[in-house]
Amino acid sequence: MTANASSAFACRYLQGSSNLPTTMSNRILRSLVLLLLIHFASGATAFSDATKRKAFPNRPAETEITSIELQRYWRPVTKGVLPKSAYLAINGFLSREKWAVEAGAIESCTFVLLDINFDGENEIVVANPAFSGSGGLHFFILKSSGAKWKVIGEFQGGLIFTVRDERRENHDYYQIISYQRSGDTFQQVFDFRNGYYVLTSETIVPRAITESNWWQGFWRSLNSK
């Protein structure tokens, strides 16, 4: 399916004329179609600075940023670029797997700065190939706490940061969606609660969707760095 055809198909669904399977919940299917529109309508060029929020043309209000759009901003995790305390926190997180430290896993990690709760302070989003696999690219997020940094969530299968207006106004955290593969593909929804991102919803994405060419291309893009 071409980009134009996919976008037109998505628009038809949003207008209520799609013939997709009815076994999938409307909420999950609608989110998938919105993401398809974002993928083809917005493009990475719409996001000029990963540390600043800017309006995305034709972007549904529910969705702000995907890991596709962050790809051009990933930078290697090095001592000279990150604060020493942040570098140590990343290395400490990786050290939960002894082999990762011995293999120098931190050298394969990349990061981007992003304000995920609208308070004007950037958090650090890390892409971690060492912990990745068939389930998708592994990510984790660090937030500063005084002079130290701590991990506030980890995810696999891409990153989709979503927000509604009331969250933006209240300096609330993005809701995060990922699509992890484990036999089936699972749409996982994470919300920030009591200092950490926790899994609040998990739904199987029907294979009628995941076996389509457009979905497989989208998922690969979502999990590239």
Asked if residue 125 lies in contact with residue 70, where contact means CB atoms within 8 angstroms, the answer is yes
Q: Which helix (H) or strand (E) holds 207?
A: helix 207-210
Q: What is the pLDDT of residue 13?
A: 34
The reported pLDDT for the residue numbered 100 is: 61
Give the pLDDT of residue 138. 93
Residue type (1 letter), 190: F
Residues 154, 135: Cα–Cα separation, whole Å: 13
The pLDDT, as a whole number, for residue 29 is 56
Q: What pLDDT is stored for residue 105 in this prediction?
A: 72
Amino acid 221: pLDDT: 92
So what's the pLDDT on residue 145?
86
**DSSP 3-state helix, strand, coil percentages of the chain (rounded to 5)?**
35, 30, 35
**Which residues of the chain have a pLDDT value below 70?**
1-63, 98-104, 164-171
Structure tokens at 109: 């990690």
**Threshold 0.75, pTM exceeds:** no
